[in-house]
Chains A and B, each alone.
Chain A
């Protein structure tokens, strides 16, 4: 069954797979998570602000994004980002945008919807007494959010945020549809060039599996520790 397989192809392409592919994947994951968290928190604050219109706009954005498949969103932004760039810079024609920038914008906008739901749940889980105590001390709304509510919400939700980041890590593989050489894209390129689909895809699967397993084990450990501290 394995007799005509050549696993040496993996060893030969390791530098390309990891130095190019995996670093792209990790960079995209990290920056998207960060950006998604920032925008997601802003969206959550809009939804909870008490201003009807602001809340509705934020809610619509979240519902809209969560109704669409990520693959379609990736296509949307791939074609849309050049026009957005043109509009922002006032250039005469749609500007050229690199694969990384385009994917980063996509994932930040997409993940913001998901992170905002997590942060919203986190903020709502803080007892009403906390902001009340903060304003009793004379803190303004934004001070109370910044120093009292958000840090607690973030802390409580950290395991969920990290779990979502693991999902994001796996989802970045979908940039494959744009022929971008992330980790899977790189593996696929080698696979097709050398005709070694079985070896390369098995290896890619194993790498994703090990990283995700280790990461989710870490999250479970963290969760247990937080549960004890509380």
Chain B
């Protein structure tokens, strides 16, 4: 392969004048983490609400849940980000639209909310499946003790269901991190974006992408290890969850 490798490139100053190329990549890494964490919080909140709706006996509730999930699952994430970023401000009343366009850091907020809502549909599906996998008697027992439906979910069904779906939630969290890279298309310069920028400035394509790859692998290892730790600390003695 006649390609000029130059691994020292990371320590050369980058063209923005602020630090080295490595600094650029680290800034991207931090932005990826920040965006993903906010998106994940959004995904968990909305996913939990919708997941509960899908598990309720009420027809209306499960239809709302179904519609929500179908809406966010049947459009490419990229298209959804375009809708939030380019289309929504135009469809709002003038004042609101203008305000939306002038928000500082718009790509960041759009990415976090867009990826968060996209992922919330998947969290909802997992949670509803987790609740459905619980024996019917658990809900009956909670009801028979006089717990209201809300209390039953809060103290009995959700704590067990979330433990059961912890392994799939781990991969959904990893997906959230990976999906933030789609926001490169609305101008979010996260890790992949910085690697791309570095490639354009320095022409050292493979070094830039190798570094980004290593960083993504590192994030994965950290998350998987962390979640395994969480799984172990939440494990109920004698009770086999999931698997």
- Complex A–B touching at CB under 8 A: yes
Interface residues in chain A, defined as those with a beta carbon under 8 Å from any beta carbon in chain B = 1, 64, 67-72, 75-76, 79-80, 83, 86-87, 93-94, 170-171, 173-174, 176-177, 184, 197-198, 201-202, 204-205, 208-209, 212-213, 216
Q: B55: shortest Cβ distance to chain A, in Å?
A: 19
A-B contact pairs, 16 of them (CB 8 A): A67-B220, A68-B213, A69-B178, A69-B180, A69-B181, A72-B181, A75-B192, A75-B209, A83-B1, A170-B76, A173-B76, A176-B185, A198-B86, A205-B75, A209-B75, A216-B74
Whether B235 is near chain A, meaning CB under 8 Å from some CB there, is no
A31 to B209, CA, bound (A): 26
A1 touches B1 (CB 8 A): no
Select which of B70, B75, B86, B205 is within 8 A of A79 by beta carbon. Answer: B205
A205 touches B83 (CB 8 A): yes
A208 touches B192 (CB 8 A): no
A93 to B1, CA, bound (A): 9
Whether B239 is near chain A, meaning CB under 8 Å from some CB there, is no
| Given A1-B93, A173-B79, A174-B78, 10 extra CB contacts under 8 A | A68-B216, A71-B184, A83-B1, A94-B2, A173-B78, A184-B79, A197-B86, A205-B79, A208-B75, A213-B74
Q: Mark B172-191, 1 if CB is under 8 A from A, else 0.
A: 00100111111011000000
Minimum CB distance partner of A191 in chain B: B86
Whether B12 is near chain A, meaning CB under 8 Å from some CB there, is no
What are the residues of chain A within 8 A of B185 when measuring CB–CB?
Answer: 176-177
B213 touches A72 (CB 8 A): yes
What are the residues of chain B within 8 A of A205 when measuring CB–CB?
Answer: 75, 79-80, 82-83
B79 touches A72 (CB 8 A): no
Q: Residue among B70, B79, B205 with the most chain A CB within 10 A?
A: B79
Whether B18 is near chain A, meaning CB under 8 Å from some CB there, is no
What are the residues of chain B within 8 A of A75 when measuring CB–CB?
Answer: 192, 195-196, 199, 209
- The 8 A-B residue pairs with the shortest CB-CB distance, nearest first, are A212-B74, A69-B181, A170-B76, A69-B178, A173-B76, A71-B181, A67-B220, A79-B205
| Chain A, interface SS category | helix
A121 to B91, CA, bound (A): 45
Q: A161: shortest Cβ distance to chain B, in Å?
A: 17
Q: B104: shortest Cβ distance to chain A, in Å?
A: 21
A201 touches B86 (CB 8 A): yes
What are the residues of chain B within 8 A of A76 when measuring CB–CB?
Answer: 209, 213
Whether B7 is near chain A, meaning CB under 8 Å from some CB there, is no
Whether B234 is near chain A, meaning CB under 8 Å from some CB there, is no
A205 to B77, CA, bound (A): 10
What are the residues of chain B within 8 A of A69 when measuring CB–CB?
Answer: 177-182, 192, 216
Select which of A67, A94, A184, A216 is within 8 A of B217 by beta carbon. Answer: A67
Minimum CB distance partner of A197 in chain B: B86
Q: A71: shortest Cβ distance to chain B, in Å?
A: 4
Whether B3 is near chain A, meaning CB under 8 Å from some CB there, is yes
A71 to B181, CA, bound (A): 6
What are the residues of chain B within 8 A of A197 when measuring CB–CB?
Answer: 86-87, 90
A72 touches B216 (CB 8 A): yes
